[in-house]
Chain A
Amino acid sequence: MILFLSGLAIILISAVAVLVIRDEVIRDRFFATFVVAGSALASIPAFRILGGAASEITRWHSGMPGGDWVIGIDPLSAVFLLAVLVVGAANAVYGVAYMRVGSDARLSRQASATYAALVTVLALVVTAQSVVLFLCAWELMAISSFLLVMTNHQETQVRRAGFIYIVATHTGTLLLFVMFAIWSNGAADWSFASLAANRPALMWGGGPLFLLALAGFGMKAGFVPLHFWLPPAHAASPSHVSAVMSGILIKMGIYGMLRVVMLAGPPPAWWGWTVLALGALSAVLGVLWALAQHDIKRLLAYHSVENIGIIMIGMGLGTLGTAYGHPMLAILGYGAAVLHTVNHALFKALLFMSAGAVYRMTGTRNIEEMGGLARRMPVTFAAFLIGSVAIIGVPPLNGFVSEWLVYQGLFRAGYSSDAARIALLAAPVLALAGGLALACFAKAAGVMFLGNPRSDKPLAAREVGAAMLVPQLALAAACVAIGLLPMLVVGPFLFIGATIAGEQRSQALEAWSYVSPAAQNVALFAVVLLLVAAAIWAGRRFVLNRRSVRGDATWGCGYGATTPRMQYTASSFAAPLLAVFEPLTGVQEHRGATVFHSTGRDLVLDRIVSPLWARIQRSALRLRPIQDGRLHFYLLYVVASVVICLAYLVIAP
């Protein structure tokens, strides 16, 4: 615990330091070093606990209303903490270099300080074990991330995105207040342990509590239809902030849901069905909407919606496993959900970093204006490609390992003898999402990096510096390592799954003895795949070295005067798939004699949230007269409220 807290202290020191140190180079070095060092220090207890050490817990008598402050690291906290620290540290290094460019340079100080604060409170969110501390950290997280989203607040788009974000996140927080208020009613104190003990007293078997938690935490996690704040906020933020938001901040919603499930005890089956259905919906709609986007950061943001869906399919499966009494299913489901959370944190942060590097070099986020960047930015391209292969969930990278684990759970559910077998129907949905994700990243990687430049913006692009490349390569290495060595990684995640499900360690061991040989074979499959590819590559080289090889123009099917403008665009590439799912995509096509392009709108934001918001604003206008700016009326209101409260106290028993 002392290591954890001193790690956080070091990260906070860096926040103060950037505000004090004048010299730019020293400041950035100091900041990056301290955040990385602090993260390394704070991650030691997390590693220890994942390795099997006992959970740590500390209570302080803070003297504040709301009782003691409790900080604890259990396996669930530990794994989220690791994700926070790894992604947080990598993006700190990347972020200072990213912010050094152009007009952003003068904003880099406050951005760095807020960033360090955000990483600290994120670490606090996953370790807080009492309600008041948790909600404080939750609120600080919302505010610091809001400030980071608003970094470029001089742009209208950014202000709008920031506003939507702050309204959405506070709506979620409000629901969490209500949830914890209901839950702590009758509990001994406000610590999570007491909440867990208060479980039998919950109204209607905890149903309202579950729905409040689902909506409150779901607002942060961003499943459909609560995702509407996510794409604008991700697009508006500086790229390292997008990486942290998509990689770890939205995962706090997942953490919250898992924590509630863990504390609220054996859940009824309908909780699991709800989460599973929402997950399946988010997985497909998220990727479908991503396919319609040509702003790379919005595209990646919608993919977060998809991946939250995959995580929720795992969670729902875990809940069903507990509800129907299949410990193995529960462990597999929760284990897969948490593993996919970590994997997504790694590859999504990586993709946002690569996209940010491209944005820095081309000055555009519109992939229709890119092209030909693979030659100009080969390392960034390799990093983006690794991220893409990971996110579409194919071997030999980490995305495959967690999706494979989700499928294990879904298929196992399929041959149980009770209603849990219906969960198998989520498997083809997940497969469809996988196929669509492949299409979407083929579009993104292909149109951004391959072919000829589609405008003059990519012409001057060159590779970014080491400070922006090394963090990308570090995360890419983590993706490769988990993909090639799943047998080392899956075990601890099954134990975390068992912790969430409230199963015994022996059950986790049984699940592990079932999964372990398969995990070894997954590794074998991945390694043999690479070896076979290497062997064929060598054979091809051997053959081609003896033949004449020359370069020429791309075959134009008989037409000699092709131009870069004739290349297939992202809009055209996505059009046939979007046509299949027509009414769900929200895509608008613009056709002309010589033009075709499409724009993807957010159906939930445009059709539901914005009209609703307009209506709220209109009705709020009617209340306007009571707030007319005259002080004596305000005093009257205060007096009247106090009198009413007093009257209530007298009348109430």
Chain B
Amino acid sequence: MNFTTPAVIAFLVVLLLAPAVAGVATRTKSLLTGRKGAPTLQLYFDLWKLVQRGAVFSETTTWIFRFAPVLVVATILLAATVVPLDGRLSLIKFSGDAVAFAYALGLGRFFLVLAALDTGSSFEGMGASREVTFASLVEVGLFLSFGTLVVVTHEISLSGMLGAPFALHWTANAAALVMIGACLFALLLAECARVPVDDPATHLELTMVHEVMVLDHSGPDLALILYGSALKLAVLGAMIISVLIPRANLSPAASIAVLMLGLIVVGIGVGIVESIMARLRLPKVPLYLAGASSLALFSLILVLWNPA
């Protein structure tokens, strides 16, 4: 474990700012579409409100339903510990932690999907089915991106890939890295249930993906799930920032400032995408994800056939 001060501060910043990133996205959308919209910090109020509420559990459900929200947040927190949020070093760093990052998120997803099936609701089953469909395609793009970063940096840990000497690789591999950034942003939209894969503002259960999976969760459990989603958005966003803006040469304070600014930019980006396009039809989503993956595949081919 590396408890360097910047790493710990960056970790806490992401933990605390996560709900605001989602809020920035919503705010951007309401501004661009000419509506008044909810306050940027609405999610904090929602979380606070939900924690104070009681809970209703379906009588069909078992311990899986109660445990899943806990595990979702725990796995995203652990995934965050291996990302170099301060631009240099993650809290936990080891060779192959990129795999742990992706697979920890997988564990959380597995339990969330089981929780949806636990309710016996056909709506939630439908959401669960869509979630695993899209998630398994997301993995491909994610690992192609990791592969490119590994080839470029000769490192297998996320801190090694995105940390200290990473800036040097930009001169040689700019094209590949830009494509990786684009791919990761496209995957972020899918993974965090955003337009064009899912619409967080939709009110029709039949068209939902992520939202419909958690219909039955209430009170503190729903708070955990909402916070988990926001945190995932922030962590993936921080990873994209690390790819696009190598921060190893900045002072720790500047680096964390860039992180915070970057997260706001990610939020604005998500909001802009949501304002300018509609959700894709569900059968089109695999094509969208395949497109994102092929961006990463091209970048991998670029760096594999052109070892700098």
Contact = CB atoms under 8 A, between A and B. Distances in A.
Interface string A429-462: 0111011101101100111001110000000000
Main secondary structure on chain B at its contact with chain A? helix
Contacts of B62: 374-375, 450
Given A529-B104, A552-B56, A555-B216, A522 B94 contact: yes
Contact of B92 (A424, A425, A521, A543): A521
A415 B154 contact: yes
Nearest to B130: A576
B99 A407 contact: yes
Interface stretch (B9-17, B134-142, B240-248, B258-266): B134-142
Contacts of A425: 147, 300
Nearest to B115: A450
Interface string B122-138: 11111011101101111
Contact of B102 (A417, A431, A515, A552): A431
B33 interface: no
A568 interface: yes
Interface in A504-525: 514-515, 517-518, 520-522, 524-525
B70 A554 contact: no
B69 to A, nearest CB: 8
A166 to B, nearest CB: 36
A608 interface: no
Interface stretch (A230-238, A391-399, A630-638): A391-399
Given A451-B117, A521-B92, A428 B140 contact: yes
Contacts of B34: none
A442 B113 contact: yes
Contacts of B124: 568
B232 interface: no
Interface residues of A, number: 84
Given A414-B147, A529-B75, A567-B120, A395 B156 contact: no
Interface of A: 371-372, 374-375, 388-389, 392-395, 400, 403-404, 407-408, 411-412, 414-415, 417, 421-422, 424-425, 427-428, 430-432, 434-436, 438-439, 441-442, 445-447, 450-452, 514-515, 517-518, 520-522, 524-525, 528-529, 532-533, 536-537, 540, 543-544, 547-557, 562, 564, 566-568, 572-577, 579-580
Interface string B144-179: 101100110010100000000000000000000000
Contacts of A424: 147, 150-151, 300, 304
Nearest to A521: B94
Main secondary structure on chain A at its contact with chain B? helix
A372 B205 CA distance: 24
Interface string B64-92: 10110111011101100110000000001
Contacts of A438: 106, 109-110, 132, 135-136
Contact of B139 (A395, A435, A522, A577): A435
Contacts of A525: 78, 81-82, 92, 94, 97, 100, 104
Contacts of A521: 92-94, 97
B54 A442 contact: no
A549 B55 contact: yes
B128 A554 contact: no
B71 A411 contact: no
Contact of A442 (B117, B151, B224): B117
Interface residues of B, number: 91
Given A434-B139, A442-B113, A514 B54 contact: no
Contacts of A551: 56-59
B58 A554 contact: yes
B199 interface: no
Contact of A544 (B55, B120, B156): B55
A567 B121 contact: yes
Nearest to A538: B70
B120 A547 contact: no
A415 B136 CA distance: 26
Given A521-B97, A533-B71, A393 B156 contact: no
B138 A435 contact: yes
B129 A568 contact: yes
A431 B71 CA distance: 21
A477 to B, nearest CB: 19
Contacts of B73: 536
A442 B96 contact: no
B286 interface: yes
Top 7 nearest A-B pairs by Cβ distance? A568-B125, A435-B136, A446-B117, A521-B94, A451-B120, A548-B54, A439-B132
Interface in B206-263: 215-216, 219-221, 224
Contacts of B41: none
Nearest to B143: A431
B51 interface: yes
Nearest to B293: A428
Given A403-B99, A446-B117, A567-B120, 5 more contacts: A407-B99, A442-B128, A550-B56, A553-B58, A555-B215
B99 A451 contact: no
10 contacts: A392-B106, A411-B98, A421-B307, A427-B147, A428-B293, A521-B94, A525-B100, A544-B55, A555-B216, A575-B129
Contacts of B286: 580
Given A577-B133, A579-B283, A394 B114 contact: no
B119 interface: yes
A436 B154 CA distance: 28
B234 to A, nearest CB: 17
Given A438-B109, A547-B53, A540 B70 contact: yes
A389 B70 contact: no
Given A421-B304, A547-B55, A553-B59, A576 B146 contact: no
B121 A556 contact: yes
A439 B116 CA distance: 13
Contacts of A388: 110
A533 B147 contact: no
A536 to B, nearest CB: 5
A532 B219 CA distance: 20
A73 B53 CA distance: 63
Nearest to B59: A551
